[in-house]
Structure 1
């Protein structure tokens, strides 16, 4: 009996130890799997974040320098009224009218003017002007990309300014003789002219980019009337012409007498002298 109880106790202990070992192994494998999963998530996040950052830097666009211009012709009901409305629109969008020309003939009245407007308001102004028309004859929009020229000028300008600074440093420290001073000053003069030319071109391009040009033609049709081949004056017209002629004749006589006043005085004196002689006789 004792032998059997010992065997039973040994088996029971062995089974408990086996269960403990299995349980510990499962816990250990669960922990390892959790750690591996955490590492995988971290690496994946870092990879995505790095790729997004790289893509953002690579896709950063250069600020484009675009010159916009447009020309359009619109039919309106009243040219004068439509012109006043367009002027108000230009002021609303911080623009101004740089040129205006009015034409009137037997077929139509036309107002042609040029508007300078900030580049950001270019499209809005065109849409607003089109809203006052009853018919759009044409609209032409053109763009000119000067980004490459602008960046090239900026790069050249920076280089020339650096060279100018070096020449100025040479002039202050190393130029000893008159020949060296004159040669350095000549180089500086040429560089200054090139720098001013580049700055002027950059300023011109900046103004063209900042302010777009819109040329607008507003016109209204009028009823055609043929000009008469001959014109007959009415009585009032003839009376007015006669009155004007009479007044002009009086003016001419008075002006003519004023021109010959010395002769009139001499004639008057001669007549008075002759009359006295005749009285004495």
Structure 2
């Protein structure tokens, strides 16, 4: 009897040990699952804002986003973003990629060669439009390119009341048009009809713009590289070339001699051109001289 009691006690302890181990494994599994789930949730919340994916029944939103961040390579990031936008059914409305040159120096490497060293920073300002339901995906793709995020803002403007008001305005314009048609034909009726039609056109244009803004979200993206880049460009040593051909004595003397001959020719041609004046001057000089000589002879007598 005592032996049977001991065996039952040992069996009970063994079963309790197994149960405790299983319970611990289950608890650990649940903890790991919960931890993984929380980690995934954090990643999603970091990459996709609720404002980007928000949907409310019977509400219409115009969504806009702005991203300002630093990337490893602006050109590669630009190509990747443009490709992602196209794949999501969107399009790029503006892209201004340029390099700001911080300094530019030229270093001589030989008599013929030199090296132009530029320090610059590349940046790009983009504006893209993407289907509103794809806004969260685009922001996630853009987020994957960042080294450091400066600013990311998302704005969801509720335009439900504006849409309802636009519908009421459309009905009012339509009713006004019907009332105008019942008036007698005169100059005032023509002017009123034109004004009403113009107002209707503006209202339709506003409705189209709102519809487009609801369908496509606008995203302004500014990306730049955190550090300066250096470009080394091999160029010709222009300073040495200038010194080489700056002055050639033989060539200069030869040109001076030829220019002197040309100057003499021009002077002779000029004298030939004014020969009547020279002739008149010679005649006047002759008569004056002759008159002077005659006066001197008279004085001697």
TM-score interval, normalised by the smaller of the two chains: 0.5 to 0.7
Tell me the equivalent position of 1:191. 196
Which structure has the highest strand share of the two?
2
Are 2:105 and 1:104 equivalent residues in the alignment?
no
Q: Alignment partner for residue 151 of structure 1, among 164, 186, 190?
A: 164
Tell me the equivalent position of 1:141. 154
Alpha carbons of 1:200 and 1:239: their partners in 2 closer, same or farther (altered >3 Å)?
same
TM, length-normalised to structure 2 = 0.52
| 1:266 to partner: Cα distance | 3.9
1:1-281 alignment runs, 5 A limit: 61-62=57-58, 64-101=59-96, 102-106=98-102, 108-168=121-181, 170-171=182-183, 175=184, 181-223=186-228, 236-243=237-244, 245=246, 266-267=266-267
Kindly provide the CA deviation profile for residues 164-183 of structure 1, in whole angstroms up to 9, marking residues without a partner as x: 13422x25xxx2xxxx5223
TM, length-normalised to structure 1 = 0.56
Kindly provide the CA deviation profile for residues 150-190 of structure 1, in whole angstroms up to 9, marking residues without a partner as x: 1111121122113313422x25xxx2xxxx52232232222
Aligned residues: 186
Kindly provide the CA deviation profile for residues 38-77 of structure 1, in whole angstroms up to 9, marking residues without a partner as x: xxxxxxxxxxxxxxxxxxxxxx943x33111111122221
Kindly provide the CA deviation profile for residues 65-119 of structure 1, in whole angstroms up to 9, marking residues without a partner as x: 3111111122221111111111111111122222223242548432221112222
Structure ID, larger Rg: 1
Q: SS of the counterpart of 1:134?
A: strand
Which consecutive residues of structure 1, in runs of 5 or more, have no partner in the other structure? Answer: 1-59, 226-234, 272-281
Which consecutive residues of structure 2, in runs of 5 or more, have no partner in the other structure? Answer: 1-55, 103-119, 231-235, 272-301
Which structure has the highest helix share of the two?
1
Q: SS of the counterpart of 1:70?
A: strand
Alpha carbons of 1:266 and 1:182: their partners in 2 closer, same or farther (altered >3 Å)?
same
Q: SS of the counterpart of 2:126?
A: strand
Alpha carbons of 1:236 and 1:103: their partners in 2 closer, same or farther (altered >3 Å)?
closer
| 1:125 to partner: Cα distance | 0.8
CA RMSD across the alignment: 3.7
**Aligned partners of 2:247 and 2:60: how far apart in 1?**
72
